[in-house]
Amino acid sequence: MEDLVESILDYVRSDYTDYAIMINGEWGSGKTHFWNHKIKRKIESMQLNGKRFTTIYMSLYGISNLEEISKKIFIETTQLMDKNLRKFMNANEQSTIPEYAKTGIDMANFFGVTQNGDKIDYAEFFSTDDKVLCFDDLERANVDVIDILGYINNFVEHDHIKTIIICNEKELSTKLKSSNLEMKTFIATYLLDKQNELNKNDKPMVEKIQKKIETVFDKANDYERIKEKLIGETFEYAPKFDYIINGILMRYENNPDLIRFLRENTRLIISTFERSGTRNLRILKHALNDFKKIYEMVNKNYPNTSNRVMQTMLIFTIAISFEIKAGKVTKDKFINIKDNEEYKSILVSSRILMDNRQFYIKEFDNNYYYNFKSEYRFFKFIEYYVRTRIFDMRLFKENMETIRNTVDTENLPGYKRLLTEEYWKISDDEFDKVIENIIEDVKQGNLKLIDNVKIFAYFSYFVKKKLIDYDLKTIKSVFFNGMNLASLKSEYCDNVEEELSKIAIDEDAEDMEDILKHFNMLNSQLHDKMYKEKAEEVFKCIPMKMELFYEKFDKECMNIPIFKYYDPYQIFQRISCASNEDIVLIKEKLANRADKYTKEIEPEMKNIKQLKQVMDDYLKGKDPSIKIVMLKEFSNNLGYILDKYKTSFLPRKEEKVEEEVEE
């Protein structure tokens, strides 16, 4: 870096130059910081022929016409000749004038207000051999870059003013090619049509249009021509990040604990930064600022968090910041991952990738956690904070409690280790103990029902590889009993295929057959149990909480056979106690539901038939009243629904013949 500084200073020292120099580097790489803290100070400390150099810096960001550049130069130059202003800036140790102050001073000059009657020193104003112009953000100007370079060329070629241009040529090239693309495409197509080239099939149409655009509107060639004339040397700004990052960390010196932690982990910061594939220091600064908040919140609320977890948080904060903010990935890649366990489950899956998200997350983990071992690698509260700028205390506490009760206190159950990390990462010294703990948890029914199936696949694999001293028959018996106990505490699993896809070894289909059959039977029972509880919850709202009934029925029961799971006689009792208006509403709702979800609710038809029978028995011989009439219409409506399924209740010909033979 010192060689680069010296090369730039050599240019400034040269007696005569008729060219500018360019500093080229990626966005956010610290080019402006390099100018302000390295180049500018060195230049202003130099003297040439007894004169001290003066730097005039201008950012072209957002400049919309050349007049604005002239105005900026004028303001910078005239202000520097104001002795009182110089005195004030020196006394307050200010090297630059705030933009709003420039505006005020400029307007004061415009209206004839002077500082102590000072007059312009025209000798100094016309002097050019002690000025150094610096134009920054060339690619971010809203003026044609060719026009800007032509404008700058006036200073360089005619006035021989030392001029430095700072830019990102990669972005500049993209801008030159993509500007007014729709207009260029239209004109290129028009020209091709006039030349009878559109109807020829000798080349792809896209290629023809692209070539015509380049021929007619090749701004890139124009840029190269004027650059060759104007720019004498181009310096690639590739900073040594060790030095720069140390400078960034200086801002945290008022927080002794944080600065100590960051300095101890400088190499970790640098390696994560390098793995991002960008040189954007601006994003790194934002990431470290976010980590400051995270570090302080963890220290305040969970002071005994291990150093390893804090290091992982640092890596994750920097990594997720670059992934989201550097335009590498859309923000929704991590939205649906709810916790570290789900994140690790995706990583250990050895099956065919289900979607692009899974592939991306594996790449993310392999890249940023390469050679860095950590049990807890995904922090939902950090991902949410970086993505939304909201520090969610609920998520924070949930994550930290999980860390405290598992990873950070070495209480992670053995079966969770097997499900969330590759089994070969368990050391030989630990393996036997982990297996013992898992078997005990299985026997006690501590695993979720679906987790029993996944763990059995591993044990079956371990038996074949002779990693455990059990035969398959014994293991299968242990798991059968464990699954029976687990089913008493587990919930129904509705995404069986997705869960089984997370098994990180190739399981034997034959070994798995009995376990899967037993699981499906128990899971089916849990399914019925879940719907029975749902039916009780919904139907108990009749007749006293009808608004709640309608809400729950519409949202949760329209396409499920909920009547299958509730006693028909109790349903009738509840409906008969409802108001006449509610009886009509329920009747209409059931008819519409049967029309819309005929196939889905077919399993409940047996109970619907029983409900109609109970209702008809009650209505026999009853004197007419509004309620009786409404209930009769309700029964007729049930008949209409049953007619849709009557073939389902009629015995097939073979069944009817068998019944007659038996008689």
> When comparing pLDDT for 519 and 241, which is higher?
519
Contact between 34 and 237 (Cβ < 8 Å)? yes
Task: With a cut of 80, say whether residue 188 has pLDDT above it.
Answer: no
Task: With a cut of 90, say whether residue 156 has pLDDT above it.
Answer: no
| pLDDT tens readout for residues 265-309 | 998 998 998 888 877 888 898 999 999 999 999 999 998 888 889
DSSP conformation class of 597: S
Task: With a cut of 90, say whether residue 259 has pLDDT above it.
Answer: yes
Cis, bond preceding 543 (omega within 30 deg of 0)? yes
Task: With a cut of 60, say whether residue 142 has pLDDT above it.
Answer: yes
Task: With a cut of 50, say whether residue 245 has pLDDT above it.
Answer: yes
Give the SS3 label for residue 510.
Answer: helix
pLDDT at res. 94: 60
| Mean pLDDT of all residues in 208-220 | 61
pLDDT at res. 282: 83
Task: With a cut of 60, say whether residue 538 has pLDDT above it.
Answer: yes
pLDDT at res. 112: 53
DSSP conformation class of 112: T
| Mean pLDDT of all residues in 591-601 | 92
Buried/exposed code over 614-638 (b: 16+ C-beta within 10 A; e: otherwise): bbeebeeeeeeeeeeebbeebbebb
Q: Which two tokens stand for residue 185?
A: 């495409």
Select, from the ranges 15-24, 104-113, 393-402, the one with the highest average predicted confidence (pLDDT).
Answer: 393-402
| pLDDT tens readout for residues 419-449 | 766 788 788 888 899 999 999 999 999 999 9
Choose among 357, 280, 365, 371: nearest CA to 321: 280
CB atoms within 10 A of CB 422: 13
Give the C-alpha separation, 563 to 572, whole Å: 11
pLDDT at res. 563: 95
- Give ∠ CA 189-193-198 in degrees, rounded to 5: 85
Give the C-alpha separation, 648 to 642, whole Å: 9
Parse the chain into domains and list their residue ranges: 2-176, 242-412, 423-528, 540-649
Task: With a cut of 60, say whether residue 637 has pLDDT above it.
Answer: yes
Query: What share of the chain in percent tops pLDDT 70?
Result: 79
Task: With a cut of 50, say whether residue 45 has pLDDT above it.
Answer: yes
Q: Which residues pair with 164 in a beta bridge?
A: 21, 134
pLDDT at res. 503: 79
CB atoms within 10 A of CB 174: 12
Q: Is 371 left (phi over 0), alpha (psi -120 to 50) or beta?
A: left
Contact between 596 and 647 (Cβ < 8 Å)? no
pLDDT at res. 1: 65
| Mean pLDDT of all residues in 52-59 | 86
pLDDT at res. 335: 86
| pLDDT tens readout for residues 164-182 | 999 888 777 666 555 555 6
| Mean pLDDT of all residues in 633-638 | 94
Environment class of 425 (CB within 10 Å of its CB; exposed 0-12, middle 13-18, buried 19+) = exposed
Task: With a cut of 60, say whether residue 575 has pLDDT above it.
Answer: yes
DSSP conformation class of 636: H
| Mean pLDDT of all residues in 404-415 | 68
Is domain 2-176 given the CATH code 3.40.50 in the classification?
yes
pLDDT at res. 649: 47
> When comparing pLDDT for 332 and 270, which is higher?
270
Contacts of 643 (CB under 8 A, 6+ apart): none
pLDDT at res. 658: 47
pLDDT at res. 500: 83
Q: How sure is the predictor about 370, in pLDDT bands with cuts at 50, 70 and 90?
A: confident
Lowest mean pLDDT among 101-115, 133-147, 618-632: 101-115
Contacts of 633 (CB under 8 A, 6+ apart): 584, 587
| Mean pLDDT of all residues in 130-138 | 87
Q: How sure is the predictor about 216, in pLDDT bands with cuts at 50, 70 and 90?
A: low
Q: Which two tokens stand for residue 275?
A: 């793995």
Give the SS3 label for residue 479.
Answer: helix
pLDDT at res. 351: 45
Q: How sure is the predictor about 360, in pLDDT bands with cuts at 50, 70 and 90?
A: confident
Q: Which two tokens stand for residue 465?
A: 């590889």
Mean pLDDT of the chain: 81
Contact between 542 and 578 (Cβ < 8 Å)? yes
Q: How sure is the predictor about 5, in pLDDT bands with cuts at 50, 70 and 90?
A: confident
Task: With a cut of 70, say whether residue 241 has pLDDT above it.
Answer: no
Based on C-alpha coordinates, what's the Rg of the chain?
38
| pLDDT tens readout for residues 474-533 | 999 999 999 999 999 999 998 888 788 777 777 778 889 999 999 999 999 999 999 999
Give the C-alpha separation, 535 to 565, whole Å: 6
Lowest mean pLDDT among 368-377, 452-461, 475-484: 368-377
> When comparing pLDDT for 663 and 371, which is higher?
371
Give the C-alpha separation, 59 to 76, whole Å: 12
End-to-end CA distance of the chain: 103
Dihedral sign (CA 363, 353, 520, 650): positive
Contact between 389 and 395 (Cβ < 8 Å)? no
pLDDT at res. 170: 76
Task: With a cut of 90, say whether residue 77 has pLDDT above it.
Answer: no
Contact between 30 and 24 (Cβ < 8 Å)? no
Helical H runs in 465-545?
Answer: 472-486, 496-500, 509-539
